[in-house]
A and B are shown apart, each in its own frame.
Chain A
Amino acid sequence: MIQVVCVKQVPDTETRVKVAADGRDLDPAGVTWVLNPYDEYAVEQALRVRDQQGGGEVVAVSVGGPGVLSALRNVLALGADRAIHLRTDVTAPDPLSLSRALVAELRGLGAGLFWFGKQAVDDDQAQVGPMTAELLGLPCATVAAGFTLEGEKAVVEREIEGGREVVELTLPAVVTAEKGLNEPRYASLKGIMAAKKKMIEERPAELGEPGLEVVALVLPPPRAAGRIVGQGPQAVAELVRLLREDAKVI
């Protein structure tokens, strides 16, 4: 079975966000770029499925500028077989145009499973997975915290408010990965060396018309500094009084 993993390059979660001169985007100066953390779980699950099946192919796909090549190399080093780079100069395509670019590519791949991270930790939209599924006319399970494959059926456990929903999908299908789906591996030295020889195809991304337009990126006002009520258990009585009488939250 062919499996596709769609990945994104994002700023490291320790990044201190600064606004670029245009007032709309992240200032990229000094930013460390990494593979989106949720994508790591998607990649890992695809590799496990391939290994369980004793064969098949894992194809990594990413849309973006030359920067995404390092994310793709990273996925190849983890064990993906090949990669496709859909090239664009648009810095942050909106989810709808991104999904359309992916659909144009994914339609012809004949894959049984399409993997995504549940969301990218930069724009936090969590849209591209389910949007792509709908455009491809495929079933989809988002926020997967558990996954088993039984023939042509995938059983996915999703975290929902106060519990878990168990969904059965008939392949081909789209799954978006939540943290905890598995324990992602690290790239081995051998894997990193092998990745250098693996193929990355490059094609222009056919971004569709966007549905959104970013008008501003602003930093939230800093929280006013609070105060230390006191030291140790002796401070508890005063804390409880403050929570009750001043903050009125208990």
Chain B
Amino acid sequence: MSILVFIEQRDGRVRAVSREALGEATRLAATLGGPVVGVCPAAADPGLAALGEAGAERVLLAAHPAFAAYDAAGYARAVAAAADALKPALVLFGASTMGRDLAPRVAARLGAGLASDCTALTVEDGRLVASRPVFAGKALQKVAFRKVPALATLRPKVFVPVALGGKSAAVELLAVDFDAAASRAKVLRVAAAGAGRVDLTEAEVIVSGGRGMKGPEHFQLLEDLAAALGASVGASRAVVDAGWRPHAEQVGQTGKTVSPKLYVAVGISGAIQHLTGMSSSRCIVAINKDAEAPIFKVADYGIVGDLFEVLPALTEAVGKLNAHA
């Protein structure tokens, strides 16, 4: 049986989550059997042959002029059509906003079970088991699938892509029966939040500020450190609720769950709803004036001190490092 992977593209570029999903599909194919096949709804081929290096044996291009922008109903039709044709054991999606929007629709069309935002897929006693954080990461739920195919969305930055040098995927056209004129949902436009800013869920480095920042005007200090580290800026719930920062920056249970390689928590005491959203980060640094703050219990490295003194010093030190690199 095959493994089908949804290939996500925006503006003609295949997104990293899809390479991560192809990597996991390639590893699972060793146990579940292959081949690994991609399906990509798009207006034009975004260079799918190159996905051979990422593990795809072939990729079905569901080409439609309306697929230049995301069209939930049309994309769902395309992926479901690919699943109907291939009869895969498993269908994988990146747990991006697109994947998380699309996968439930495909699952509904196929009448199949879907596990969202998985951090591990394993085969236990001959059946596929998905592990997924629940309660924003306070616990891990393991689910098995009662139907074929099994559907799963994979949390970004958790699964590792493969690099099969020199391989090329066969690209085949997949006919999609979709009348865009009759579509009752249509993307009018996409507005970028700001040039060069990486979304928190995809960021390698995040610097987050909490109530200890004392006011929105002081976040420039955090922006400066973020610029030096090439980081994205996050915030605690308290800060977002106070209106100092937009909700898109909130890390924690009613915000984003993040797994960067470095998370710097500044002036954040570490309420449980915040800790659940960031404790899967590889390395955590906390800067707080209260030595008893719970954030120090999860931090790999802590500095106790006044953030208004520590932040500029840290920004300067990182800047010097960059200058010598």
Q: Identify the A interface with B (CB < 8 A).
A: 11, 13-17, 19, 26, 37-38, 94-96, 99, 121-135, 138-143, 145, 155, 158-170, 173, 178-180, 209-220, 223, 225-233, 235-237, 239-240, 242-244, 247, 249-250
The 8 Å CB contact of A223, one of B141, B146, B254, B279, is B279
Q: State whether B301 touches A243 (Cβ < 8 A).
A: yes
> Chain A contacts of B193 at CB under 8 A?
162-164
- Assess whether B309 is in contact with A233, with CB atoms less than 8 Å apart: yes
Q: Per-residue 0/1 for B289-325: is the Cβ within 8 Å of any A Cβ (1 yes, 0 no)?
A: 0010000111111111110011011100110010000
* Between-chain CB contacts (< 8 Å), 16 pairs: A17-B135, A37-B254, A125-B116, A126-B117, A139-B185, A140-B185, A155-B188, A162-B192, A163-B193, A179-B250, A180-B246, A210-B113, A215-B129, A217-B142, A228-B296, A229-B302
Q: Does A121 lie within 8 Å of B314, measured CB to CB?
A: no
Kindly state the separation between the CA atoms of A90 and B139 in the bound complex, as whole angstroms: 21
Interface size class of B (residues with CB under 8 A): 35 or more
Indicate whether B4 reaches chain A with its CB closer than 8 angstroms.
no
Question: With A127-B116, A227-B302 known to touch, is A165 a contact of B140 (CB < 8 Å)?
Answer: no
| A236-B143 in contact given A96-B108, A130-B72, A226-B296 (Cβ < 8 Å) | no
Q: Which residues of B contact A227 (CB under 8 A)?
A: 300-302
Say which residue of B197, B247, B301 sits within 8 Å of A239 (CB atoms).
Answer: B301
Question: Smallest CB–CB gap between B319 and chain A, Å?
Answer: 11
Query: Are A243 and B285 also in contact (CB < 8 A) when A155-B188, A161-B96 are?
Result: yes
Are B114 and A96 within 8 A (Cβ)? yes
Look across to chain A and name the residue whose beta carbon is closest to the beta carbon of B231: A250
Contact of A249 among B143, B194, B283, B309 (CB under 8 A): B283
Min Cβ gap B195→A in Å is 9
Residue of A nearest to B127 (CB): A215
How many angstroms from the CA of A128 to the CA of B101 in the assembled complex?
11
A126-B116, A211-B113, A247-B283 provided; 15 other pairs, C-beta below 8 A?
A: A13-B253, A127-B107, A129-B104, A164-B193, A166-B187, A167-B186, A168-B185, A212-B113, A212-B143, A218-B139, A229-B301, A233-B312, A242-B301, A249-B282, A250-B262
| Stretch from B32-40, B166-174, B198-206 that touches the partner | B198-206
Assess whether B138 is interfacial by the CB under 8 Å rule.
yes
CB distance from B312 to the nearest CB of A (A): 8
